Amino acid sequence: MKHHFLDQHSNLHSPVHALDPRVKIIAFFSFLFFVIFTPITQAQKFVLYGTLIFSIILISRVPLKFVLKRSLVIIPFVGFVAIGLPFLGGTGGSYNFGFFKITYSAFLIFLNLLVKSWLCVLAMITLTSTTTFSKLLNGFQRLKVPKVFVMILSFMYRYIFVLGGELAQMRRARDARTFNPSWTQSVKTAGCMIGTLFIRSYEKGERIYTAMRSRGFNGEIRLIHEFKARRADILFIAVFFSLLTLILVIA
Amino acid sequence: MKAIEIKNLHYTYPDGTKALRGVNLDIKKGESVYLIGPNGSGKSTLLLHLNGILQPQRGTVRVFGMDVREKTKEVRRKVGLVFQDPDDQLFMPTVFEDVAFGPVNMKLDEEEVKKRVKKALEAVGLDEFENRSPHHLSYGEKKRVAIATVLSMEPEILVLDEPTLALDPWIKRDFIKFLEELRKNHTMVIAAHDLDLIKLSDRTYLLNNGKITRRINKKSDIFNSKITVAKL
């Protein structure tokens, strides 16, 4: 089974991959912050943000096609908002499209959402495809994210594949015994499968907890430290912040 | 001193299933004991008592003289319990973190933890696997890593539930050799229903319907024994 839908390409070798995960997480969140709080009317700034993120993608050697394809996930969200646009009022003139018209301010809302969510998603894809999931978790831990959250994420990452495998097996077993199902029948089967999967995960959770207790777990999560920030990490974060500030200041 | 001393152990699950009905068993240090029995005979329930995950409802379990009810923490350091399904045993994102889980909980320092992880992975023949994720491993590899996760705690007693289940004959042959190695410096308790494991033990007992019913000396003995399959 292919297990790479979360952190594909994260095992490549590049200067971006080699960075300390903490540095990348900080850079990621500050990028989001800058992008979200820049007014959409300052178009040139967004071009610069885009240039920044694309240059990082190029340095990281993650295939551009992969990044662009994956960034299409925003379409449903943006599309959903687009449906409502003709009904929004507003000022500043309007564009006519035959039956309906869209006001300038509604158009800005749309553009705002499209551009910003696309840039943010690009940044997120860059982060996850240059950092393995376990390093990412480690980075969050070092940044003092509450251990319980990190632990939950870590279990999710570990067991999503196990549950995915079980679901695939159940579907195969169902398909092997299903002939021309009616719609109601397939819905019923799907319901039973969800229920079974729920009970199985619950029981698995119990067994895992038993395994944890056997190895001395008493509710307290401990870790050992692993990375130290290198000169390259400090350089990266310094350059990254200067560029963001530069973009903010100009124009 | 006896490594494990079980006296008149009873256990009933909350749903009323009587899993153990008076088990008596003594195991000396360095000995290897194999418990064979049909499905539902209480093997797994018995193993869960050996490190205090389940507490005796009647009777006692002592490990190196310590009552598991009183000294649960110490007992868990002495007894390494390996579960049947390696997906239950391996719950961390990387092999390193999983093997380090026990030692880290024992509050060892970083250097010592790293040393132990290395040693444990070498013992199971999977050095260089430190940064792999469990979901990228084959089933046989997962089984080995699962054993490494308790070896890193350097237990004196190894307790294995169904160690050879679902292994193909080739991997199983290697795995049995590996268990023979482990036997040299550990007290071992194995529960399974695999006839090939009889040769791995000093003593083999038949567990049936929550009780140890007889000692098994050769393969054919188990088919000459009366077996009641417990209702699940």
Q: Which chain A residues are within 8 Å of B104, Cβ to Cβ?
A: 222-224
pLDDT at B8: 96
Percentage of the residues of chain A whose pLDDT score is greater than 70: 94
Ramachandran quadrant class, B210 (left: phi over 0; alpha: psi -120 to 50; beta: rest): left
Q: What does the alpha-carbon distance between residue B72 and residue A209 come to, in Å, rounded to a whole number?
A: 16
Q: Residues with Cβ < 8 Å from B185, sequence gap 6 or more?
A: none
Testing the interface with B: which of A217, A224, A226 to mutate, by most B Cβ within 10 A? Answer: A224
Do residues B34 and B200 lie in contact, with contact meaning Cβ atoms separated by under 8 Å? yes
Written as six digits, the tokens of A22 are: 């903490």
When pLDDT is cut at 50, 70 and 90, the band that residue A227 belongs to is low
Portion 117-136 of A in contact with B at CB < 8 A: 133-134
Lowest mean pLDDT among A86-95, A193-202, B32-41, B151-160: A86-95
Q: Residues with Cβ < 8 Å from A171, sequence gap 6 or more?
A: A193
Q: What does the alpha-carbon distance between residue B124 and residue B149 come to, in Å, rounded to a whole number?
A: 10
Does A210 contact B at CB distance below 8 Å? Answer: yes
The answer to the question of residue B218 being in a domain is yes
Query: In the predicted model, is pLDDT for residue A122 greater than 90?
Result: yes
Mean per-residue pLDDT, A101-130: 89
**Residue A215 to residue B85, Cβ atoms within 8 A:** no
Testing the interface with B: which of A136, A151, A215 to mutate, by most B Cβ within 10 A? Answer: A215
Burial of residue B162 (number of CB atoms within 10 Å: 0-12, 13-18, 19+): buried
**Residue B110 to residue A225, Cβ atoms within 8 A:** yes
Percentage of the residues of chain A whose pLDDT score is greater than 90: 35
Q: Which residue of B has its CA nearest to A160?
A: B135
The answer to the question of residue B29 being in a domain is yes
Q: What does the alpha-carbon distance between residue B180 and residue B31 come to, in Å, rounded to a whole number?
A: 12
List residues in chain B touching A: CB distance below 8 A: 48, 51, 53, 73, 76-77, 80-81, 83, 85, 87-94, 97, 100-102, 104-107, 110, 113-114, 131, 133-136, 149-150, 153
Q: Which residue of A has its CA nearest to B146?
A: A211
Which residue stretches of chain B have pLDDT < 50?
232
Number of domains in chain B: 1
Provide the residue type at A110 as one letter.
Answer: F
Domain ranges for chain A? 15-141+228-249, 146-214
The answer to the question of residue B87 being in a domain is yes
Does A72 contact B at CB distance below 8 Å? Answer: no
- Neighbouring C-beta atoms of residue B13, cutoff 10 Å: 11
Q: What does the alpha-carbon distance between residue B69 and residue B50 come to, in Å, rounded to a whole number?
A: 10
The answer to the question of residue B31 being in a domain is yes
pLDDT at B232: 47
pLDDT at A33: 93
CATH assignment of the domain containing B152:
3.40.50.300
The answer to the question of residue B180 being in a domain is yes
Mean per-residue pLDDT, A51-74: 92
The answer to the question of residue B232 being in a domain is no
C-alpha distances (whole Å) from A120 to each of A75, A84, B15 are 13, 23, 52
Query: Using H for helix, E for strand and C for coil, what is the string for chain B?
Result: CEEEEEEEEEEECCCCCEEEEEEEEEEECCCEEEEECCCCCCHHHHHHHCCCCCCCCEEEEEECCEECCCCHHHHHHHEEEECCCHHHHCCCCCHHHHHHHHHHHCCCCHHHHHHHHHHHHHHCCCCCCCCCCHHHCCHHHHHHHHHHHHHCCCCCEEEEECCCCCCCHHHHHHHHHHHHHHHHCCEEEEEECCHHHHHHCCEEEEEECCEEEEEECCHHHHHHCCCCCCCC
pLDDT at A51: 94
When pLDDT is cut at 50, 70 and 90, the band that residue A180 belongs to is confident
For A212-222, write each residue's pLDDT tens digit: 999 988 877 77
Q: Which chain B residues are within 8 Å of A214, Cβ to Cβ?
A: 51, 53, 76, 80-81, 83, 150
The answer to the question of residue B231 being in a domain is no
Does A224 contact B at CB distance below 8 Å? Answer: yes
Q: Name residue A96's beta-bridge partners.
A: A101
* Residue-number span of the structural domain to which B126 is assigned: 2-224
CA neighbor of A15 nearest in space, from A58, A60, A57, A52 = A60
When pLDDT is cut at 50, 70 and 90, the band that residue A1 belongs to is very low
**Residue, of A147 and B66, whose pLDDT is higher:** B66
**Chain A to chain B, count of Cβ pairs less than 8 Å apart?**
81
